[in-house]
Structure 1
């Protein structure tokens, strides 16, 4: 009984020590708990993105025996869009990849709509009324197991998207955040990107608008896996990077990464 009393007394003393911790200890605790976000009358998208450009991320899981035919189909879709005067100036393929490490038999295609959702509405109307496009879509349906589409906005603090020359690999790191934490994520990554933007690896950073919500995608570009390893180790040696990671980890519900290789028709290689 006496031992039990002493045990609970030690627990109480430890709790008192935490509640009256020094500023240094408070800084350590702030890395564990999500910091409070102030209310705002502006939408998160307006606070995090400053461009009237919407991106569409297509994720296709193709049949294992149909990769070549599937990629030919996507190339035909791209060629059709490029021949449409009403679409070619506002709808552009940014990147096209197949997954090498991660979800196998998967392809990702990133499209840019200059003019926002108004252009997406026009695109949907034109493609819905095109017999040729609908035939391409029907053929594609026979080659895939599942498809998913997300509309995304680019984080304003990420470097501008620039097409890369061959030969590179790409890593897409996808995060499912806790609802209500997008501003906190953006505030921390606006600082974190400074530790890595001097290198060539930041390609694009997005957050979802339609589709799976509170999703973030960071796309990085590397020469190869060894260069990826060296670059990430270098970031950890940069003062302040560890704090940015510590602040953002509590915001995440789920995360995963995939290593991708560009298709032959991808604008960025």
Structure 2
């Protein structure tokens, strides 16, 4: 979502510390998901020894045979150093990478920043997550930022869901915003969403925001046993 609009988003707190997040989506070969997750669970500590993992999920709806994970970096220099160290980590390469890669059909990644008005949240108890991706019209937050913030806030105020983070892409498909929500269950999310979309305050905020929207999609994420976000 950045490209030509990155300067507008760069006026917030993230400009000072440089912290960003890498979103990784792996498509696992059919019938190999169980083997993939067992291998990852057994060896993920070798990876987190190099840099912090925010969360690791499987997709329940919105994509099949996929896992999604988020990694935190303080700078691009740190990410480069981590990636270099991983290639030299013989235990990681032999115990995990050499066995994991044949299980995959595809790998995708994006680099994203938290928007300046959002801090990364956490979950107090187990639940499920919804990742909603918005492809916004060109022009940046100077045009639609306040309306988008108001739409997010209107959902937060209803209390049926918890905001974990709002991210904008720096590398990947541009003009995109990702919103990560926590819910107690798919049923609580469904009933809460149906209820709040009868709330005139939510309806008004969403109606204003969608004027700047090109498209959107979502997926339901189930945290793995080894995910920090539960």
Asked whether the two chains share a fold, i.e. TM above 0.5, the reply is yes
Q: 2:179 is paired with a residue of what secondary structure?
A: strand
- Tell whether 2:161 aligns with 1:195: no
**1:64-91 Cα distance to aligned partner (Å, 9 max, x none):** 2111221133335521134x4xx3xxx2
Question: Do the aligned residues in 1 keep the contact of 2:130 with 2:182 (CA within 8 Å)?
Answer: yes
Q: CA deviation at 1:158?
A: 2.9
Alignment of 1:236-247 (within 5 A): 236-247=197-208
Residues 254, 77 of structure 1: alpha-carbon distance in 2 compared, 3 angstrom cutoff: farther
SS at match of 1:100: strand
Match of 1:208 among 150, 169, 174: 169
Aligned to 1:152: 112
Name the residue aligned to 1:252: 213
Runs of 4+ aligned residues of structure 1 deviating over 6 Å after TM superposition are none
CA drift of 1:222 comes to 1.1
Counting matched residue pairs gives: 222
Are 1:49 and 1:154, in contact at CA under 8 Å, matched by a contact in 2? no
Distance change (3 Å), C-alpha of 1:103 and 1:161: same
Q: Which residue of 1 aligns with 2:133?
A: 174
Structure 1 length normalisation: TM-score?
0.73
Q: Which has the higher contact order (CA 8 A, sep 6+)?
A: 2
The residue that corresponds to 1:108 in the other structure is 68
**Comparing 58-67 and 132-141, the one that deviates more:** 132-141
Aligned with 2:227: secondary structure?
Answer: coil
**Aligned residue for 1:127?**
86
Where does residue 137 of structure 1 map in the other structure? Answer: 97
Deviation per CA, 1:176-224: give whole Å up to 9, x if none: 2233334434321222233233424212211111122222111111112
Preserved CA contact (<8 Å) 1:49 1:153: no
Superposed counterparts of 1:25-36, under 5 Å? none
Contact kept in structure 1, 2:151 and 2:209, CA below 8 Å: no
CA contact (8 A) 1:93 1:110 kept: yes
Length-normalised TM-score, structure 2: 0.85
The whole-number CA distance in structure 1 between the counterparts of 2:99 and 2:138 is 38
Secondary structure in 1 matching 2:92 = helix
Pair 1:106–1:183, CA change in 2 (3 A)? farther
> Matched residues in 2 for 1:210 and 1:133: separation?
26
Mind listing any 5+ residue stretches in structure 2 that lack a counterpart? none
Alignment pair present for 1:55 and 2:21: yes
Q: Quick one: distance in 2 between partners of 1:236 and 1:203?
A: 20
1:229 and 1:48 map into 2 onto residues whose CA distance is: 33
Give deviations 1:38-75, integer Å, cap 9, x for gaps.
x99x8133135535321111101101211122113333
Q: Which consecutive unaligned segments of at least 5 residues does structure 1 have?
A: 1-38
Q: Aligned to 2:187, what secondary structure does the other structure show?
A: helix
Aligned residues: CA RMSD:
2.4
